[in-house]
Structure 1
Amino acid sequence: MTDFLYYPGFEIEDEEWLKFALLYMREVHTIVPYEADNYLSSKHKALKDSTNLLVSYRPSYDEGEKSTYDAIDIIQSIIKNPSRNLGILGEVNILEYWRQSQNQDTELFNTKFSPEFVRFCNEYGLCHETYNGIKLPKQLVLIYMSVFAHNIGDHKGMSVITDIKEQRRISKINNKAWRHNPGYEELKAMKKVIGLQIPTDLKNIPLEEIVKLRNKQSFQKKLRAFHLALSDFTSTPEMKLTESNCKNIHEHLSISILDLSSEITGYATATAATALGIWLVFSSNGDNLELVKEFLGLGSTIGGTIQVYEKIQQTRDKFLAARYLTDLKKLGKNHLEISNTQNHGLSV
């Protein structure tokens, strides 16, 4: 699976998006210079310590230097022809707006740019210096962070993502942001898949409950298996996961499990099947228990036992992947029932 780089801030702002990330994503890298560690919220620190989701990406000087010159080119083009981006920036005299000190209210840390960027901004009156770096108008910071994040993404082979609508709008000024982003397309599709599985809004499920589910070892196994199955699904020629075909992943998993069922049915004695089931359970410390329950009684000859076991091992990831979707459904159903009970309790 693709590595994801979140921007523009140090931490994910939208809690519903954060919940989705906890349920689906293996890791999310957020751009955090070392000197910014003390500015992280207690919530972000707690999640970073208690889960394996968040990773702090430490930007390099070279990344900041390249982004400096790329951003200067974009900002200069805006200053020369401000009306070109009127629909995005929304100010006729954008340079005058940016020069007003009260509008320079968003801080950009030193590590993210080179001294040349400060010189350029000072020349046009676009910033004032702070202890940590410089303060700029928010629009300029979002333009810069779009350039910075996409440069890091290109350098490290990471997919760049954001949950901020204004950032997505302003990123349209950056040509690199127009490139096809398959990782982001996959995320949009998976948000739809998860939305279909959970029969209640994510905002109704407490963050603590989602963290608790994510931290279960069994859920982590299913999540890894789901990503493997997803990779297998999208590796098929001309098959990419999109919002329009996201339901196909269910069919892909179901067919794999049905194939295994028919394979086992081809070998028929209950005794050997039971022996195989017991062996599977105890040889894996019980990890295969759900899988055995699914297929026990379908049968196998003694001669075919090894063949069946090999088939189970091949298909086990897809079975666990299907169980991942089941876990999501249970999570949503439980909180839907709680919500309904509470609502009924208010009636008189």
Structure 2
Amino acid sequence: MKTLIYYPNFEPPTTEWLKFAILYLDRLESIVPYNREHLISDDYRRLQNETDLVELFSPTDGQGYRATLNAITETEKFLTRPYEFSGLFNRPNVLRDWRNPNTWNYEIHEGKFSYSWIAYCEEQEIGIRTQDGILLSENLAFLYMTHLAKEIAFDRGADIITDNLNYDHYTSFSRGRTPLAQRHQFIKGIIKLKVPQNLNSISLQSLIDFRNRNIELINSFNQQIDLVENAIGNGITEEQFITNYNYTLNTLIAEITNLGINTASIPLGFYALTTNVNVLNYEYAREILAGLGIIHNGYHAIKKSLRDSRNERNCRKYLVRLSHLK
């Protein structure tokens, strides 16, 4: 099971990203100090209590200390050479922004950093302490939280993930963007193609129930994605992935022929069932072959389609079930 450290917020600010996550992520750990767990929303708490998806993680002092040192080192680059580095945040001069109190609209809560971070930000006039932590500009907060997430991920053998696309340049610069980000965009594309309606119109409870009923299939789906990880970077499309888990009428006939069965002996009803369907799902195709008496002793003789591993079969089933999700 893959654990992902989510940042920069306690939880995703929009339900759409979270709804996608319910359908394919293994485990999502949010960075929430123990004394701030009461700030979690009811919906996020429900996911924590009713599924295996969400966990809350309170940073250790060591993780906050190391993240503080790394964030100070990197912030120095922006302060000493603002025009050179500001483009990473799509700004002409981040130093001017960071020193403008009107931009201090993001609070990092105490428990995520060491005291040195507050002292440094106040010394440089790029932030101010608050009762609960420190207030600074959003992109500077993102810089810090990237380093904290990376420290936690390193300790836990995990990876990091964010839903904030406003700072893509900095994410890539800090090596926060990995093939994982591309993978998740690819999976979202598959889900959008398979789910018959907009996820926003499906209730959170329906998705929770769907996940809990299909958790084994979700695990198999992710393992099949693992097999095409390199192909994702080389341009495989979501449609091509889905096609690999479908049957066409011609494919079925070819497989039947390979079993040594004369297609002329196949009942007319077989063609009546399939000629109006360009693409068949795994379960329907298997029912057809079983009805023809082919799936008995000869089941394992079919070269490709029906010689699937358990994960392949479960992946097929999951894609079928996604297509019926409402």
Letter paired with 1:33:
P
Secondary structure of the corresponding residue to residue 135 of structure 2: strand
Aligned to 1:52: 52
Indicate if the aligned counterparts of 1:109 and 1:134 stay in contact, CA closer than 8 A.
yes
Q: Per-residue deviation at 1:127?
A: 2.6
Aligned to 1:246: 238
Aligned to 2:312: 318
Give structure 1 stretches of 5+ with no counterpart.
269-288, 335-348
Aligned to 1:281: none
Q: How many residues align?
A: 299
Q: List aligned pairs for 1:17-32, cutoff 5 A.
A: 17-32=17-32
Indicate if the aligned counterparts of 2:33 and 2:111 stay in contact, CA closer than 8 A.
yes
Aligned to 1:194: 191
Distance 1:301 1:102, change over 3 A: closer
Q: Distance in 2 between matches of 1:243 and 1:84?
A: 33
Q: Distance in 2 between matches of 1:223 and 1:176?
A: 28
Q: Per-residue deviation at 1:72?
A: 0.6
| In the alignment, structure 1 residue 78 sits paired with structure 2 residue 78 | yes
Q: Distance in 2 between matches of 1:307 and 1:195?
A: 33
Q: Per-residue deviation at 1:249?
A: 2.5
Indicate if the aligned counterparts of 1:107 and 1:133 stay in contact, CA closer than 8 A.
yes
| In the alignment, structure 1 residue 103 sits paired with structure 2 residue 97 | no
Secondary structure of the corresponding residue to residue 111 of structure 1: coil
Letter paired with 1:221:
E
Q: Per-residue deviation at 1:313?
A: 9.3
| Between 58-67 and 292-301, the greater mean CA deviation after superposition | 292-301
Indicate if the aligned counterparts of 2:29 and 2:57 stay in contact, CA closer than 8 A.
yes
Indicate if the aligned counterparts of 1:139 and 1:170 stay in contact, CA closer than 8 A.
no
Q: Per-residue deviation at 1:188?
A: 0.7
Deviations 1:73-96 (A, max 9, x none): 11111111222234425354x445
TM-score by length of 1: 0.72
| Between 48-57 and 8-17, the greater mean CA deviation after superposition | 48-57
Q: Per-residue deviation at 1:22?
A: 0.9
Aligned to 2:222: 227
Structure 1 vs Structure 2: percent identity of aligned residues? 24
Distance 1:58 1:246, change over 3 A: same
Deviations 1:29-88 (A, max 9, x none): 211121220111122112211222111123222221111111111111111122223442
Letter paired with 1:128:
I
Q: Per-residue deviation at 1:110?
A: 2.6
Aligned to 2:151: 151
Indicate if the aligned counterparts of 1:110 and 1:133 stay in contact, CA closer than 8 A.
yes
Q: List aligned pairs for 1:1-348, cutoff 5 A.
A: 2-87=2-87, 88=89, 90=91, 92=93, 94-171=94-171, 174-177=173-176, 181-215=178-212, 217=213, 219-234=214-229, 239-240=231-232, 244-254=236-246, 266=259, 293=287, 295-297=289-291, 299=293, 304=297, 315-331=309-325, 334=326
Secondary structure of the corresponding residue to residue 160 of structure 1: strand
Please report the RMSD computed on the Cα atoms of aligned residues, expressed in angstroms: 3.5
Deviations 1:102-149 (A, max 9, x none): 433322123222222122112112232233322222222111112222
Higher helix share: 1
